[in-house]
A and B are shown apart, each in its own frame.
Chain A
Amino acid sequence: DQQVKQNSPSLSVQEGRISILNCDYTNSMFDYFLWYKKYPAEGPTFLISISSIKDKNEDGRFTVFLNKSAKHLSLHIVPSQPGDSAVYFCAASAQGGSEKLVFGKGTKLTVNP
């Protein structure tokens, strides 16, 4: 039972354009959502998070949007850079993030120069 779904295994965008990565969840108990970036042979690196009391959180080039009624979140990267090429994981947690994270399968982003 996949509680967190990333339906696009891969995404390719041109440098300077917007990258939009999507994530859906099914568990209504989730109240904290995070995005991690992962390079090969490294552990996931925390990118940005959002709590269920917000619908948007911004950090530099990265913005996460949360639509609770649709149980959907998205990560926007503007402008995209070649160094952003990595696998992006969406993760969700109950209890404000102090509990275990449930991850999606990831989306491989390729930013072409």
Chain B
Amino acid sequence: DTGVSQNPRHKITKRGQNVTFRCDPISEHNRLYWYRQTLGQGPEFLTYFQNEAQLEKSRLLSDRFSAERPKGSFSTLEIQRTEQGDSAMYLCASSLASLARWGDEQFFGPGTRLTVL
């Protein structure tokens, strides 16, 4: 399967614990995005990488959140000192940014559902 993969698919944790999620993008894609989706809402942008460089961070990404993409391949999203408000589906997407003006569709993984008790 050459799609975007995310692990784990589900994570239940207690408030105050740290959690880390992993995303493996489509192999030739140079851009990787993280989004968060809560019930009844569309996905909300968190951050994205071009290769290993983190190019933009949303104000939703508090100091407790950190994302990395070492070597421009897989990415990890860590949440420290989790809070109940962090409960959400965390989605990863990847795309191949090209010089073409249009057409850089983002392809999403299945998501990691986080529940903070």
Contacts and interface: CB of A to CB of B under 8 A. Distances in A.
Interface of A: 4, 32, 34, 36, 41-46, 49, 51, 53, 89, 91, 96-106
Interface of B: 4, 6, 31, 33, 35, 40-45, 48, 56, 58, 91, 93, 95, 97, 100-111, 113
B105 to A, nearest CB: 5
The majority secondary structure among interface residues of chain B is: loop
Q: Which 7 A-B pairs have the closest CB atoms?
A: A103-B42, A43-B108, A100-B45, A51-B102, A97-B104, A98-B104, A96-B102
Contacts of A106: 42
Given A43-B109, A43-B111, A101 B43 contact: yes
Contacts, number: 71
Which of A43, A44, A49 has its CB near the most chain B CB atoms (within 10 A)? A43
Given A34-B105, A98-B95, A103-B42, 12 more contacts: A41-B113, A42-B111, A43-B4, A51-B101, A96-B103, A97-B95, A98-B31, A98-B104, A100-B48, A101-B35, A102-B45, A105-B41
